[in-house]
Amino acid sequence: MNKKKTGPTLKAKQPVKIRYKKVANGNLSLYLDIYQNGKRIYEFLKMYLIPEVDEAAKAANKKTMELAESIKAQKIIQINTSSHGLSNQKERSKVLLRDYIRSFAQTKGKSTMQNLNSLAYHLERYKEVDIQMGKIDKYYIMDFIDYLEDAEIEHTERNKGRKLSKNSQAMYFKCLKMALDEAVADDIIPSNPILAIKKKYRPSGEKAPKREFLTAEELKKFADTDFPNDLLKRAFMIGCLTGLRHCDIKQMKWGNIGIIKNGVECISVIQEKTDSPVDIPINDNIRKWLPQKGNASKNDLVFAGLITLGRSNEILPKWAKMAGINKHLTFHVSRHTFAVLAIENGIDLYTVSKLLGHQNITVTQIYTEVLDSAKAEAMQKMSVLNV
């Protein structure tokens, strides 16, 4: 006997799917294929699957896919609640805290992303079972503050067993507040529960040590003092004149120099620390301290052979002694020097933050001609130093 047909089984189509795109190095770039309201959009996650050549690679890919699935699940919740006009946050508030933080981390620069992922790691150590966003209250957070006070470092051999510093505790608390603020903006929770905690109970960092920098006169002394390692001297001077970090100077290629942005010749690099672009208008001082290009191609390093940051910081104090300057010189002093001298020369804080590539001021994706003009004028002001 034939079974009576009761009609077709309808399987709801998921509005979000995880897809892959092969990139030049052989990795697979993950992205979301989102179909909503008759339109299809793609959202790249900046996450990659690597060739599974060993067990470590397989484990890394598994962790990556778990995170991608959590981002996908959150995106589906956002779409469904939006489609059904849910404004009471009932469904949204079921998103798990650590999942939300890890997905939020993917939208940030390299440094902040690492801090947020570390926060998720400590939240897992604090409570093995994750918590729904809607169930977080001030008592959960105050218990987490207590955890931070006693937590020990486990992920690095060098500091293993040490307790978190006051600055680290404050940083994790700040990251948690930032993530919960974002959850409020995403209409996942109605308010940030941290606001119910009095400031005196919130972690605060230690007083920042004095930031060393060189005055214009001291920088001139350094420029006039011979130093055996000419390449390091040039790199340090470029740091003082551009604000670029040692890592960015070390990896800078000739193809990064002379980029035209809105009619202005720039050094254009992607910062290693933040994974964000920065464009530094070039003036005569900067040209003076760049090494000779010779027959180098655009893919060759500008400072090929530059010693490591650690080694640089060991021998730079010798240069300070030779110049007769009684200051503890490290390569990062060059970045501080740029910032101080720029401000002393009348460059506004907003423009300085742009030149330094700071992330704490909102940055538009497309630099306007006005901003590029201001940056070019700012760098011309620096040229009066004539070092």
pLDDT at 93 over 60: yes
Residue 365 sits in the same domain as residue 234: yes
- pTM, two decimals, is 0.50
Asked if 275 and 284 touch (Cβ cutoff 8 Å), the reply is: no
* Residue 254: CATH number of its domain: 1.10.443.10
pLDDT at 139 over 80: yes
Q: How far is CA 45 from CA 49, 70, 104, in A?
A: 11, 12, 11
Single out the residue in 25, 52, 85 at which a domain terminates: 85
- What's CA 81's distance to the chain center, in Å? 31
d(CA 135, CA 138): 10
Residue 17 sits in the same domain as residue 48: yes
The percent of residues above 90 in pLDDT, for the chain, comes to 33
The confidence score (pLDDT) of residue 193 equals 94
Residue 380 banded pLDDT, cuts 50, 70, 90? low
134 lies in which domain range? Answer: 95-208
Mind listing the pLDDT tens digit for each residue in 36-46? Answer: 777 788 888 88
In a domain, 3, yes or no: no
In a domain, 125, yes or no: yes
Number of domains in the chain: 3
Asked if 318 and 327 touch (Cβ cutoff 8 Å), the reply is: no
Residue 211 banded pLDDT, cuts 50, 70, 90? low
Q: How far is CA 40 from CA 16, 36, 186, 192, in A?
A: 10, 6, 22, 33
In a domain, 90, yes or no: no
Residue 190 sits in the same domain as residue 312: no
Question: What's the rounded mean pLDDT across residues 369-379?
Answer: 45
